[in-house]
């Protein structure tokens, strides 16, 4: 099977996944409450309710509603917000998404790098004190409550030490010209050093908070798989050829231990999004998380539904990417 | 031990390797001494668990924890390997002593092209440019009977026999003075076993390296080795040249070992075997470790450990029957 066939097959397999997902979102939203009373309030007159039901198509049979919904989603129409000028949901999402993407990327990198390095370190010192320390570290970080950690960091580095800002993405009036919407990247692209510094300073605490939470599972997973791989014959054989310990550990062992780690990266992506919501609220980060919690409080039905679909699409996309990366790491998958 | 005036290639002096397990100290290699010369092939024979693989790994100081070299010395070309720093030892591994492992299916990194294994080894020891190492790897592949086109194959695309050829190429790629082959044919089927042995014999003539062939199969030793070392329960019980050994084995264990080789001409005979089981290496029997299974055992065999004596020039045996 060639690489192209493999990738095409993975993409085709993503289609039923998306259909199932849309069905679930559709059904859950039908039982989650009456959108009409959400829009008009509980005490609206009957004629107005009937009019609104007609307007939203809620009097049609369920399957017609479903097909209509499917068609709209597939034509990238996630509906309009129920509040504040009723802007298209997708437009609002795209406004807030870059902030979340920026935070997610930096937190994910931080968490994965810290997790993998501590895991390797732990495995290479199996049974020693530092190994026990990182095992406990793995449990604590995985169990930690993000807002608590965020508030603690804000208190220490923001309030007591005064080193870092505790909220927002960038200092007022410092935002770089929008190219990608990622402030760090945009600052770099426009050679805007002051806004780069400001963006990075704002990014540190949320990144550490979310990254710390993510790192624990990678510490434990990396440690377990490295311990397993380090006992394999090909590791002894690599040492017997006189390769340096660094090469043996990072080139031979880590690459083999990386496949399950990669799987976990894909799975943790959902945890990353959930964690991003909590981190954003803690740090008033103007991203999807803040946006979503705000709209849930306002019972902005269509926006919440649209955001869920958007997140779900992302998770499907990431698992697709992970499946494709596998092929590049493990030659045995394709053939 | 020997009265050679030349420096031996490898000389073990009372080597002791113990595993510190939860059940107790496993004395896997207990005071083993022998010398081998350049270009010689020594067949190291013993049952499973007799310590022969541990002995092979301990020469390269690659005993996995909880194992440890607790005593004795390993002189290689006059250098005491047990006294080298880890970094100096790393330069010996692969470069001066190569190793072939038992299971070719698991001894190659599954995510790495077979050719890159060789290139990596050459580059990391000699720092030559990659293209040069690739060239050498390809000619080496030819030497071991693999088409250079297979350079870009991954291990799972090769058969067991081909993978073992790759392992042999890896052991030889830096022209070492000594190759330790730990049961190189045990995981292969019979026809391939023969091909691999033939290949090793041929390469020995070309490369002229010394070879320690670890095996449980005495008949292999008869075919390829110059000398034979018999291990029993962590100790060397007999060390001899191959001809004298097969004509007249000295140690009762060696004798029993040779008798237990099935003879195809006498097929109606019952298979002979050595009664009893190999002893525990945590609590080995007092005295001679073989005395419980030995047909010639006397009272003193269970009391004191016999010394190794030189029965004839170059023939060593650890048994009271040869002590005056």
CA-to-CA distance for A175 and A182, rounded, in angstroms?
10
pLDDT one-digit tens code per residue, B184-195 = 988 888 888 888
Q: A219-228, A309-318, B31-40 — which is least confidently predicted?
A: A309-318
Same domain, A59 and A197: no
Could you give the angle at the alpha carbon of B207 between the alpha carbons of B206 and B210, nearest 5°?
A: 125
Question: Using an 8 Å Cβ cutoff, are B183 and A233 in contact?
Answer: no
Q: Mutate one of B91, B109, B181, B212 to test the A interface: name it (highest A CB count within 10 A).
A: B109
Chain B, residues 55-84, CB within 8 A of chain A, namely 57, 60, 62, 64
Question: Using an 8 Å Cβ cutoff, are B122 and B136 in contact?
Answer: yes
List the domain range (segments joined by +) for residue B312.
39-48+87-96+174-225+237-322
Same domain, A267 and A306: yes
Look at residue B25 and tell me if it is in a domain. no
pLDDT one-digit tens code per residue, B264-292 = 666 666 777 888 888 888 888 888 999 88
Answer yes or no: do A243 and B99 touch at CB < 8 A.
no
Among residues B291, B296, B186, the alpha carbon closest in space to that of B232 is found at: B291
| pLDDT value at B1 more than 60 | no
Look at residue A4 and tell me if it is in a domain. no
Tell me the CA distances in angstroms from A50 to A10, A36, A38, A58, A265, one per residue in order.
45, 9, 14, 10, 48
CB of A246 within 8 Å of a chain B CB? The answer is no
Same domain, A65 and A109: no
CA-to-CA distance for B93 and B107, rounded, in angstroms?
16
Helix (H) or strand (E) holding A304: helix A301-329
How close are the terminal C-alpha atoms of chain B, in Å? 18
Work out the pLDDT band at A335, boundaries 50, 70, 90. very low
Among residues B92, B187, B76, the alpha carbon closest in space to that of A239 is found at: B92
Count up the domains in chain A and report the number: 2
Look at residue B307 and tell me if it is in a domain. yes
Look at residue A3 and tell me if it is in a domain. no
Question: Using an 8 Å Cβ cutoff, are A281 and A67 in contact?
Answer: no
Mean pLDDT score, A141-154: 91
Contacts 24+ apart (CB under 8 A), B146-149: none
Same domain, A306 and A219: yes
Give the SS3 label for residue A228: helix
- Residue B241 half-sphere exposure, CB side, CA atoms within 13 Å? 8
Same domain, A56 and A110: no
Three-state DSSP string of B171-184: HHCCCCCEEEEECC
Mean pLDDT score, A112-138: 93
Contacts of A335 by beta carbon, 8 Å cutoff, 6+ apart:
A1, B156, B157
Mean pLDDT score, A124-128: 89
CA-to-CA distance for A161 and A8, rounded, in angstroms?
53
| Dihedral sign, Cα of residue B25, residue B31, residue B37, residue B41 | negative
Same domain, A280 and A199: yes
Q: Which residue has the higher pLDDT, A137 or B262?
A: A137
Same domain, A256 and A301: yes
Look at residue B146 and tell me if it is in a domain. no
| pLDDT value at B120 more than 50 | yes
CB of B109 within 8 Å of a chain A CB? The answer is yes
List the domain range (segments joined by +) for residue A228.
98-334
- Show the tokens assigned to B258: 């040779």
Answer yes or no: do A242 and B111 touch at CB < 8 A.
no
Look at residue A319 and tell me if it is in a domain. yes
Placement of tokens 């679930």 in the chain:
A24
| pLDDT value at A94 more than 70 | yes
ipTM of predicted complex:
0.88
E strand spans, B49-188: 67-76, 79-80, 97-100, 178-182
Name chain A contacts of B154, Cβ cutoff 8 Å: 331-332
Same domain, A196 and A245: yes
Same domain, A141 and A220: yes
B270: CATH: 3.40.50.300
Work out the pLDDT band at B3, boundaries 50, 70, 90. very low
Which among B62, B91, B103 is the nearest to A239, CB-wise?
A: B62
| pLDDT value at A31 more than 70 | yes
Look at residue A11 and tell me if it is in a domain. no
Full-model pTM: 0.81
Count up the domains in chain B and report the number: 1
Across A171-175, A178-182, A289-293, the highest mean pLDDT is recorded for A289-293
Q: A59-68, A217-226, B11-20, B307-316 — which is least confidently predicted?
A: A59-68
Tell me the CA distances in angstroms from A173 to A25, A187, A190, A195, A198, one per residue in order.
39, 13, 15, 9, 11
| pLDDT value at A77 more than 90 | no
Look at residue A159 and tell me if it is in a domain. yes
Q: A99-103, A177-181, A306-310, B105-109 — which is least confidently predicted?
A: A177-181
Look at residue A57 and tell me if it is in a domain. yes
A291: CATH: 1.10.3720.10
Mean pLDDT score, B178-186: 91
pLDDT one-digit tens code per residue, B61-97 = 999 888 999 999 999 999 999 999 999 999 999 999 9
| pLDDT value at B4 more than 50 | no
Give the SS3 label for residue B83: helix
Look at residue A208 and tell me if it is in a domain. yes
Among residues A155, A163, A146, A159, the alpha carbon closest in space to that of A202 is found at: A163
Same domain, A153 and A28: no
DSSP label at residue B152: G
Q: Which residue has the higher pLDDT, A24 or A52?
A: A24
CB of B167 within 8 Å of a chain A CB? The answer is yes
Helix (H) or strand (E) holding B236: strand B235-241
Same domain, A58 and A165: no
Among residues B220, B131, B212, B207, the alpha carbon closest in space to that of B169 is found at: B207
Answer yes or no: do A244 and B64 touch at CB < 8 A.
no
pLDDT one-digit tens code per residue, A261-319 = 988 888 888 788 888 888 998 999 999 988 888 888 887 778 888 888 888 888 888 88
Question: Using an 8 Å Cβ cutoff, are B74 and B52 in contact?
Answer: no
Contacts of B139 by beta carbon, 8 Å cutoff, 6+ apart:
B148
Look at residue A132 and tell me if it is in a domain. yes
CA-to-CA distance for B133 and A260, rounded, in angstroms?
33
Phi (first) and psi of residue A4, to 5 degrees: -65, -40
Same domain, A106 and A54: no
């Amino acid at each position: 099977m060639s690489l192209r066939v493999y990738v095409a097959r993975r993409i085709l397999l993503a289609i039923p996944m998306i259909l199932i997902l849309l069905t679930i979102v559709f059904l859950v939203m039908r039982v989650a409450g009456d959108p009409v009373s959400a829009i008009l309030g509980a005490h609206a007159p009957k004629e107005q309710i009937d009019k609104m039901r007609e307007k939203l198509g809620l009097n049609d049979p369920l399957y017609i509603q479903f097909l209509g919904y499917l068609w709209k989603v597939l034509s990238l129409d996630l509906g309009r917000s129920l509040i504040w000028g009723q802007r298209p949901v997708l437009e609002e999402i795209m406004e807030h998404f870059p902030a979340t993407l920026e935070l997610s990327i930096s937190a994910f990198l931080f968490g994965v790098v810290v997790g993998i390095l501590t895991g390797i370190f732990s495995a290479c010192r199996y049974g020693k004190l530092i190994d026990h320390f990182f095992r406990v570290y793995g449990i604590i970080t995985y169990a930690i409550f993000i807002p608590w950690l965020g508030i603690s960091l804000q208190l220490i580095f923001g309030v007591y030490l005064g080193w870092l800002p505790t909220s927002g993405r960038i200092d007022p009036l410092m935002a770089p010209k929008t190219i990608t919407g990622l402030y760090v990247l945009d600052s770099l692209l426009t050679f805007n050093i002051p806004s780069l510094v400001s963006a990075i300073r704002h990014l540190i605490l949320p990144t550490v908070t979310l990254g710390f939470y993510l790192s624990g599972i990678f510490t434990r997973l990396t440690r377990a798989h490295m311990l397993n791989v380090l006992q394999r014959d090909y590791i002894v054989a690599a040492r017997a050829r006189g390769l340096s310990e660094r090469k043996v550990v990072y080139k031979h062992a880590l690459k083999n231990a990386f496949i399950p780690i990669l799987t976990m990266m894909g799975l943790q992506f959902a945890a990353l999004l959930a964690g991003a919501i909590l981190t954003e609220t803690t740090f008033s980060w103007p991203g999807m998380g803040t946006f979503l919690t705000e709209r849930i409080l306002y019972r902005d039905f269509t926006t919440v539904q649209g955001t869920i679909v958007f997140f779900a699409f992302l998770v499907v996309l990431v698992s697709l990417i992970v499946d494709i990366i596998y092929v590049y790491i493990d030659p045995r998958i394709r053939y | 031990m020997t009265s050679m005036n030349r420096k031996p290639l490898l000389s073990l002096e009372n080597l002791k390797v113990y595993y510190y397990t939860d059940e107790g100290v496993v004395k896997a290699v207990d005071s083993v001494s022998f010398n081998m010369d350049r270009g010689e092939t020594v067949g190291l024979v013993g049952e499973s668990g007799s310590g022969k693989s541990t002995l092979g790994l301990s020469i390269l100081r690659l005993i996995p924890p909880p194992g440890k070299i607790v005593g004795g010395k390993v002189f290689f070309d006059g250098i005491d390997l047990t006294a080298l720093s880890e970094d100096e030892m790393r330069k010996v591994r692969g470069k001066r002593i190569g190793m072939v492992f038992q299971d070719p299916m698991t001894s190659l990194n599954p995510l790495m092209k077979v050719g890159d294994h060789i290139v990596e080894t050459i580059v990391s020891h000699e720092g030559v440019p990659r293209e040069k190492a690739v060239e050498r790897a390809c000619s080496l592949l030819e030497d071991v009977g693999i088409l250079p086109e297979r350079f870009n194959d991954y291990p799972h695309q090769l058969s067991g026999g081909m993978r073992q050829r790759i392992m042999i190429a890896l052991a030889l790629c830096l022209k070492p003075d000594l190759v330790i082959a730990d049961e190189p044919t045990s995981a292969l089927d019979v026809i391939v076993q023969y091909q691999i042995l033939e290949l090793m014999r041929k390469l020995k003539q070309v490369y002229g390296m010394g070879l320690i062939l670890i095996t449980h199969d005495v008949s292999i030793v008869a075919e390829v080795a110059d000398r034979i070392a018999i291990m029993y329960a962590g100790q060397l019980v007999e060390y001899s040249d191959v001809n004298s050994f097969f004509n007249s084995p000295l140690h009762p264990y060696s004798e029993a070992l040779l008798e237990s080789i099935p003879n195809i001409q006498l097929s109606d005979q019952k298979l002979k075997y050595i009664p009893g089981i190999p002893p525990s290496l945590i609590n080995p029997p007092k005295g001679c470790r073989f005395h419980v299974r030995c047909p010639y055992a006397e009272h003193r065999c269970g009391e004191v450990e016999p010394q190794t004596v030189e029965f004839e020039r170059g023939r060593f045996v650890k048994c009271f029957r040869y002590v005056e």
